[in-house]
Amino acid sequence: MPASSALAQRTSRVGVFFDMDKTLISENSGALYMRYRYDRGEISGIEVLKGIAAYLQYKLGILDMRNWTRDAMQQFKGQSEQDLIAEAAQGFNELVAASLYLEARPLVEQHLAAGHVVAIVSGATRFVVEPLARELGIDHFLYTRLEVEDGLFTGRVDEPICYGEGKIYWLGQLVEEQGIDLARSWFYTDSITDKPLMDIVGHPVAVNPDPLLYREAVRRCWPVRMFTPPSAPQASSPLLA
pLDDT, tens digit, 9 for 90 and up, residues 211-229: 999 999 999 999 999 999 9
Task: For residue 102, tell me if it sits in a domain.
Answer: yes
Residue 30 has pLDDT above 80, yes or no: no
Q: Which pLDDT score, from 0 to 100, does residue 96 have?
A: 84
Mark residue 151 as left, alpha or beta (left: phi above 0; alpha: psi -120 to 50; beta: remaining): left
> Residue 28 sits in which domain range?
3-225
Q: Tell me the three state secondary structure of residue 30.
A: helix
pLDDT, tens digit, 9 for 90 and up, residues 159-212: 999 988 899 999 999 999 999 999 999 999 999 999 999 999 999 999 999 999
Q: Which residues contact 234 (CB under 8 A, 6 or more apart)?
A: 27, 32, 95, 98, 99
pLDDT, tens digit, 9 for 90 and up, residues 79-93: 899 988 888 777 777
Strands 117-125, 140-149: pairing kind: parallel
Task: For residue 234, tell me if it sits in a domain.
Answer: no
Task: For residue 233, tell me if it sits in a domain.
Answer: no
Listed residue (211, 161, 208) closest to 22, CA to CA:
208
Q: What is the DSSP string of 157-180?
A: EESSPSSTHHHHHHHHHHHHHHTB
Cα 68 to Cα 98: distance, rounded to the nearest angstrom = 28
Task: For residue 231, tell me if it sits in a domain.
Answer: no
Whether the bond into 160 is cis, omega within 30 of 0: yes
Cβ distance 60 to 195 under 8 Å? Answer: no
Q: Which pLDDT score, from 0 to 100, does residue 235 have?
A: 40
Task: For residue 113, tell me if it sits in a domain.
Answer: yes
Look up the CATH number of the domain holding residue 156.
Answer: 3.40.50.1000
Task: For residue 236, tell me if it sits in a domain.
Answer: no
Domains held by the chain: number: 1
Average pLDDT for 90-105: 86
- pTM for this predicted structure: 0.84
Task: For residue 230, tell me if it sits in a domain.
Answer: no
Task: For residue 209, tell me if it sits in a domain.
Answer: yes
Positive or negative: CA dihedral 228, 231, 237, 239: negative
CA angle 82, 87, 92 (to 5 degrees): 125
Tell me, what amino acid is at 83?
A: D
236: pLDDT confidence band, cut at 50, 70 and 90?
Answer: very low
Q: Which pLDDT score, from 0 to 100, does residue 17 have?
A: 98
CA angle 87, 91, 93 (to 5 degrees): 120
